[in-house]
Amino acid sequence: MSPYSVRIVEKNAPPSAWLWRLQEIRLGDRLRIPALDFPADQVTAVLGHSGAGKTSLLNLLVGFEKPDAGTVTPHPRAQPFFWVPQNAGLWPHLTAREHLRLVRGKAHAECDAALDARLAAFDLAERARARPATLSSGECARLAVARALAFPNAAVLVMDEPLAHVDSARSGSYWRTMRGHLQAQGTALIFSTHSPEIVLAEATHAVCLQASRLRFAGDVPTLYQSAPDEELANFLGPVNWLPAAEAARWLSNQPTLETPCVRPEKISLEVADDARFVVTATRFFGSHAEAELHDPATGETRRFFHRPANNAGLRPGSRVRIQCLR
């Protein structure tokens, strides 16, 4: 008997809160997952560094790959789904408009003007007659997403790093289009990404992979506000990891922290001539800033991510105290 099996839940099965259920999965040396459910009615982000197994995991969901051992159980509520691979998976012989026309099908046929309106939402209206070979990588990525949204009555969209090659200044509008479509159609989304900002803005559930192993599966606010360890906390952007002893040593107001996971928006640096710590370097990132602080009393140096507001005079040589905002 093959070590791989797919179990389909019967149509008359009781209601389920999951779309796919994975148990005791082994896929070569690329993936090890003891148990994992993908929840229904949510947007799930799959996170991990390059080579962590994100693509392999999504390939298992859509049946593009089969595990060497374990079970992949799709629920009927996960049908039909539409798959957007990392390379966009476009059809070389079709124009952009024809991609949308084909997936719409005769039962949901639309006039060219309507199809072009769908393309326009991804700034592709002027490329309606272009074929993939003449499109940039960013245009191909946008067309792949537009095609997925055109697929009628999809229960789930599964996307491997959607819009990864798109200008970040414009990707926000495309994600808004996707978000509006998902909400209007009641469609679930499972996607992989390297971007903490996209996860925080778009996802409600997160699956974290590291070195081909499952490290975390749960809601995004939990991962952001109280990640179980510093390595996982970094999946969603900069963090100050402050165990109790560290907090007592560095924070002037010495609050009782519920978790060592302290994000930049909760840290404020106050410039004061009588403060203990000396700034040795600073960097500004817009939504947050980074300061390297030196403690002359102990010789210790530590980096803090903090709120960039209200830090007038913060520069190398400044003396500061550190507060954790409640």
Would you say residue 236 has pLDDT above 60? yes
Would you say residue 32 has pLDDT above 50? yes
For residue 5, name the pLDDT band (cuts at 50, 70, 90): very low
From the centroid of its chain, how far is CA 151? 23
Cα–Cα dist 37/87, whole Å: 26
pLDDT at 257: 86
pLDDT at 311: 65
Strand pairing class (319-324; 267-271): antiparallel
**Strand locations in the chain (E):** 4-6, 18-27, 31-39, 43-47, 69-74, 81-84, 156-160, 188-193, 205-210, 213-219, 240-241, 261-262, 267-271, 277-284, 289-295, 300-306, 319-324
How far is residue 92 from each of residues 46, 102, 105, 242, measured CA to CA in Å? 29, 13, 19, 52
* Domains by residue range for the chain, with CATH: 4-235 (3.40.50.300), 240-324 (2.40.50.100)
State the residue for tokens 């989304």: 189
Q: What is the dihedral of CA 32, 34, 37, 38, to 10 degrees?
A: -10
State the residue for tokens 């907090």: 247
Element (H, E) at 292: strand 289-295
State the residue for tokens 């975390």: 216
At residue 313, φ and ψ (nearest 5 deg) are: 85, 0
pLDDT in tens, 205-234: 999 999 999 999 999 999 999 999 999 999
